[in-house]
Copies of this chain bind each other. A is one copy, B any other.
Amino acid sequence: MTIPARKGTSVALTAGQKLRVENTFGSQVLDTWAFSAADFGEYMAMEATRSWNSRLTPAVGDVLVSNRYRPMLKLVEDTTPGVHDTLMCCCSPGIYAKMGYPAHDNCEDNFHAALKAIGRDVDFTPGPLNLFMNFPVTPDGQITREPPVSKPGDYVVFEALVDVVVVFSACPQDISAVNGAGRMPTDAHYTVFGDAQ
């Protein structure tokens, strides 16, 4: 299935199923959220995920943890060098307004639109898992901004540990090089496979 350039979408997974997320053209950042299908009050929380794993960025074998400190997804495969981001908010009307582009497409609106498309919404925006985003942290705690290091066809695979709804936004940032030096947001793709538990 396609995650269209500059847009959001969602996919429901049953516990035990796997989700393969491909950076088809290599340099597209995918802001990613997850909710418990049974209760959208339970959401994947980067602050809980960092606490559980004692790591800034999940590695293969790590779990992604909810605001209730329960594992929701497990990262089971990653063909990239493992560079993703858990630190930064998604791009939003506020960010683009500050940059001088007040009407720019943005991941926050994409996130809420993707939820509304399935008849849901939440009144806040959790901090996302920014797949493929390359914002290195210097030893003195500065956060820098670099293009992705992933290559076309690179992918990550998650296993659903509970029934979840995953939301993606193919980040529409085309002012900086977040989505590659070409500053051209692209489609990405996902596949669901494996048996439910």
Contacts and interface: CB of A to CB of B under 8 A. Distances in A.
B88 A51 contact: yes
A182 interface: no
Contact of A87 (B50, B69, B124, B125): B50
A94 interface: yes
A29 to B, nearest CB: 14
B127 A56 contact: no
Interface in A66-88: 67-70, 87-88
A130 to B, nearest CB: 10
Interface residues of A, number: 36
A1 B143 CA distance: 36
Contacts of A120: none
A11 interface: no
A56 B124 contact: no
A143 B46 CA distance: 13
B54 A143 contact: yes
Contact of A89 (B45, B141, B145): B45
Contacts of A57: 141
A57 B51 CA distance: 16
Interface string A33-70: 00000000101011110110011110000000001111
A124 B143 CA distance: 27
B143 A56 contact: yes
